A and B are shown apart, each in its own frame.
Chain A
């Protein structure tokens, strides 16, 4: 200890001595002649914060106002359902119904992740809205000014370069100094990061407007304002819209940094999850994050622009921050390719009969959903819903329809959706053959009706888990509805097989006449996944019950009575209650995990596997092992896809059914997920063949000779 003191005093003396004769070559020289640059800056910042606060407030006002308006007063305070509907409406207006339905599904999933996640989702959407809105308000006018006046561009360009070269962590600091931690400075930093591509692209868009078109406007006497409004902005619109989309993508990629700056939102959840190593929270927040990003991106994307997936687009947005010009060339080439309305082969009488049979099967299946699927208690769901549905026999004799949580639950809903697909296919094919989405035709009907059959069969064959039912409670019985669903599915499948036989669909080009081993391999892989999934966890029951014995219950009652008396010492009572609560213990009442094949599960994995095996059988002819005629391959591929979809739908319906159970301790397992993926792999193996087939086109010369050929039936159709 003393020696240390000695050395330090020696050092101090040395410093004092050195200060008199400090050499230029000595590092101490640097201390001696220190420039207090940091202090200056600090003083400047303090000066600004102290003396210029009104200015800072004025700058912050629009950000605060918009955040408060959009996030606080609107997205976070109206019911979640309205937000979803609103976003869907927005997507429908800007894009189309397809994007709108995607938005609906994605936001719905964000919502059912849980209330916390929904709030943060809404905040994230609002935050991005505000950031992009501010970027647009500032970026587009600046970009236009740059595009029209060279001097402005000369001045703005180095600023943009600076904004993009300096890392956001660096310019984050002054914003935090001036406006503190929070959403306002987070929005500003996001804006600094995200606005340059918009300015660059707007500038470029204005400059790219052909000189002669502008001259034309001027030559006809247009004022400069008109040239801008009539010619420059409309022609620069694609570039500007690309710029807005870029801004959005970059704003999304800034959410993490914004979260560090205290902006809240899903970024904050992710940030917390990472710092706490909370895998479940991280996964859910990550999923919501991804979905929000997809929703915003797809909504704002330009019509006909590239449909590469989000990450590639964000990566490209990053890569081209300095030269967004490169982005313009790759987009908007393939718009409006098929302008003229094609004439498709009409439905002939032979085709109509199986079409109607299919439709009838679909109607039966749809109808079955409102009929009883199970009696006494839900066959698949009752076990999961034990905490909120009494199983002591009080439900005995009651029946539940296909969509009830205790009835068919998502099995019923899936049957309903697939049945609607089949019915719609029949209707569309009957009235507008060849038009509408490609899958609304014989093959789509085939796939959906086979899936209906598989679902209904799996539901009938599934074994109820009876262990938890109290003694004396009757076993759940199979209702008439699910049997009808099976019947409907079988009828529709038979109809669809015949319909495919007669349907006038043909490939765009001759299919390759080789055996496609790779597709067979895909089916086998899917089957292996189904097989593995069967042995994986299908349901995990970790539910606990709090056991309150009589003694403790008596004490609690006593305390509650005390609390109701006037003048009771509430603080003391609540302290006692808390200590009592710590004496309670929980008992695990769940049965743990069960796989998809054992009787403890529902054996759903087994049925999914069987559906997959059927898919493998169907895929043998489908890959061209027995004959390679185009339509032969098409039929068997549809059958393969049907069985694969059946397996996937069984797994998916099961996952959704368990999601619907209110108990957090009871969840579906990874086996079901694996089975779903396996089924999906089988389906995807057939897509390359199925998508080649479209309704045959009829060309003018054929229309001329068709009446002579087809006789009265053709004319009847045209009526």
Chain B
């Protein structure tokens, strides 16, 4: 795992445990530390393990997503980072400070300066106007009224709600309320954003819209974001790295692609099997080197060059694809007794880029013809055979099936 390897991690959790029950540091803790599972600890000590040896680190400027089902401890993990929750054991380093040791005024000052938090059900103050909600963090910091109103307006403009400053939260729709929540987190310009299922309460269309907006804002502001979700699709979409939790411990940490294509445990595999792996596999992994056919070739020569591949491209002097010869086309023209290559070429072929995901080319691949993979200069760098897409996805599928066999047999 990645823990400790990175010296400049902004947030780092080391061996964090949280035990619920009357004696959180007693027998239950010993059992958990000895490596027993949550169920086992509960059976033997009647204590509930919330977090079980949690280790991860989040780099500055990264979106780190913790994904898990309810009861997996993901919210507990998030709340340990600003000590809304006191852990039973372990260190929670944020910017070189062990948060769990902070008390009283120190803790309040730390929360004010370092963090903003966004909640699943928005958690806006219903009796304050939108602007006052957004300015609350600054108010607590003791910023003068004019200044904090200005900062609040800036944050509201950022999320596109400048016109609603004087409304009450209840007059806004769910999506707008969550934007207010986001603006509130951004207003005091903290380094770290903690987002607790921030978009889970919104309907799917708004949710995806908010995800896009957040990514756009993030591309400008470069905050460190710790994001909690139970939606794997969301996690894969926005997370630079994704951490999958189950029963208070971590199953896997990795990029979206690692999660999808190299699931570490059966649990993760079970999880990701309904997800379209094509989203994380890039075109350049499935394409093969182009073996362009010369323009001067005859149809028979060209067909011979193609072999059993679905088709090949013809490039101009710059290396850009200008025509496509597919195996069926060639055979059909040849059966009519014509051996002219030009007669069998088609120009209505699809192009794509090497870093596109497989899911982007599904529609194009549906036509059954090879797709030209071109670089920024328009030069042909590869040919993507539709059959290769299926094959690539099939490899992952087989991996999943193996895991499934482990789970069910």
Contact = CB atoms under 8 A, between A and B. Distances in A.
Same complex for A and B? Answer yes
Interface of A: 210, 212-213, 215-223, 226, 230-231, 234-235
A212 B113 CA distance: 20
Contacts of B119: 212, 215-216
B25 to A, nearest CB: 22
Nearest to A213: B123
B145 to A, nearest CB: 15
B117 A216 contact: yes
Given A219-B84, A219-B111, A212 B121 contact: yes
B405 interface: no
B112 interface: yes
Contacts of B125: 213, 216-217, 230-231, 234
B115 interface: yes
A215 B108 contact: no
Contacts of A222: 108, 140
Contacts of B140: 217, 220-222, 226
A220 B132 CA distance: 13
Contacts of B126: 213, 235
B84 A218 contact: yes
A334 to B, nearest CB: 15
Interface in B75-128: 79, 82, 84, 105, 108-113, 115-117, 119-121, 123-127
Nearest to A219: B117
Contacts of B277: none
B137 interface: yes
Identify which of B109, B110, B111, B141 gathers the most chain A CB atoms within 10 Å of its CB: B111
B127 A234 contact: yes
A220 B188 contact: yes
A220 B116 contact: yes
Contacts of A217: 125, 136, 140
Contacts of B136: 216-217, 220, 230
Given A219-B111, A222-B140, A230-B125, 10 more contacts: A212-B120, A213-B123, A213-B125, A216-B119, A216-B124, A220-B111, A220-B116, A220-B117, A220-B136, A234-B127
Please give me the 4 A-B residue pairs with the lowest Cβ-Cβ distance, nearest first: A221-B112, A212-B123, A219-B117, A221-B111
B194 interface: yes
B4 to A, nearest CB: 27
B191 to A, nearest CB: 14
B123 A215 contact: yes
Contacts of B110: 221
B111 A235 contact: no
20 contacts: A210-B121, A212-B119, A212-B123, A213-B123, A213-B126, A215-B123, A216-B125, A217-B140, A219-B84, A220-B116, A220-B117, A220-B136, A220-B137, A220-B184, A221-B110, A221-B112, A221-B140, A226-B140, A234-B127, A235-B127
Nearest to A226: B140
Interface residues of B, number: 28
Given A212-B119, A215-B119, A216-B119, A221 B108 contact: yes
B270 to A, nearest CB: 31
B182 to A, nearest CB: 13
Contacts of B79: 215
B127 A213 contact: no
Identify which of B105, B126, B188 gathers the most chain A CB atoms within 10 Å of its CB: B126
A58 B140 CA distance: 40
A210 B121 CA distance: 10
A231 B141 CA distance: 16
B141 A221 contact: yes
Contacts of A230: 125, 136
A210 B123 contact: yes
A50 B219 CA distance: 80
A223 B127 CA distance: 19
A226 B108 CA distance: 11
Contacts of B108: 221-223
Given A221-B137, A221-B140, A226-B140, A216 B112 contact: no
Nearest to A211: B123
B121 A219 contact: no
Identify which of B123, B127, B141 gathers the most chain A CB atoms within 10 Å of its CB: B123
Contacts of A231: 125
A460 B194 CA distance: 83
A210 B125 CA distance: 10
B82 A219 contact: yes
Nearest to A220: B137
A232 to B, nearest CB: 11
A56 to B, nearest CB: 41
A213 B111 contact: no
A231 B108 CA distance: 16
A469 B137 CA distance: 84
Nearest to A218: B84
A219 B185 CA distance: 10
Nearest to A237: B127
A240 to B, nearest CB: 13
Nearest to B105: A223
Contacts of B112: 220-221
A63 to B, nearest CB: 34
A378 to B, nearest CB: 58
A71 to B, nearest CB: 36
Contacts of A221: 108-113, 137, 140-141
A215 B84 contact: yes
A219 B124 CA distance: 12
A206 to B, nearest CB: 15
Contacts of A220: 111-112, 116-117, 136-137, 140, 184, 188
Contacts of A210: 121, 123
Nearest to A221: B112
A220 B128 CA distance: 15
A218 B115 CA distance: 11
B159 to A, nearest CB: 17
Contacts of B113: 221
A213 B124 contact: yes
A230 B133 CA distance: 11
Contacts of B141: 221
A219 B188 contact: no
B81 to A, nearest CB: 10
Interface string B130-144: 000000110011000
B77 to A, nearest CB: 15
Nearest to B187: A220
Contacts of A234: 125, 127
Nearest to B112: A221
A328 to B, nearest CB: 16
Nearest to B113: A221
B127 A219 contact: no
A221 B185 CA distance: 12
A3 to B, nearest CB: 77
A217 B184 CA distance: 11
A216 B127 CA distance: 14
